[in-house]
Amino acid sequence: MGLRERGRFYGQNPIGFVLLSGLVFFAWGEIYSLFPTTCTDCFGVKYATTNAGLLYTAKGTAALLVPLANVLVAATGGWKSAFIIASVLNLIAALMALVVLKPMRSKMMSETYSSPVTTIRRAA
């Protein structure tokens, strides 16, 4: 069965759709447990819930960009420009993580592990 036949099979078969969507959500489900933990590791525990809430708000705000992508697709006649813009934004986010987040996290980690209270807690 070729790729085109598989696409027709899963596009027309409700059981195939349920199985594949379950597989996709199984693979993407880890972000709901890893986002708050990673956020707390990067920014500390003082504002952990606020920062985690902002992460989820950002996901919702990004969902509002979907209609803009649809307008772009309708104007250009294809998805290529939408994917190029998304790729550029992902590259900007990756560069910001290296240039902004990494030094900030290093500074926070050095301050956290250099205080005497942390040393006492670590030894206990």
Q: Domain check: are 117 and 97 in the same one?
A: yes
Q: Measuring CA to CA, which residue among 7, 56, 13, 60 is closest to residue 31?
A: 56
Which residue range(s) make up the domain with 118? 65-124
User: pLDDT of 102-117, one tens digit each?
Assistant: 888 788 778 766 655 5
User: pLDDT of 34-78, one tens digit each?
Assistant: 778 888 887 788 888 898 888 888 778 878 888 888 899 999 998
CB distance 48 to 40 below 8 Å? yes
Q: How far apart are the first and last CA of the chain?
A: 61
DSSP for 7-62 reads HHHHHH-HHHHHHHHHHHHHHHTTHHHHHHHHHHHHH-STTHHHHHHHHHHHHHHH
Q: Domain check: are 13 and 52 in the same one?
A: yes
Domain boundary among 44, 64, 84: 64
Q: Domain check: are 3 and 53 in the same one?
A: yes
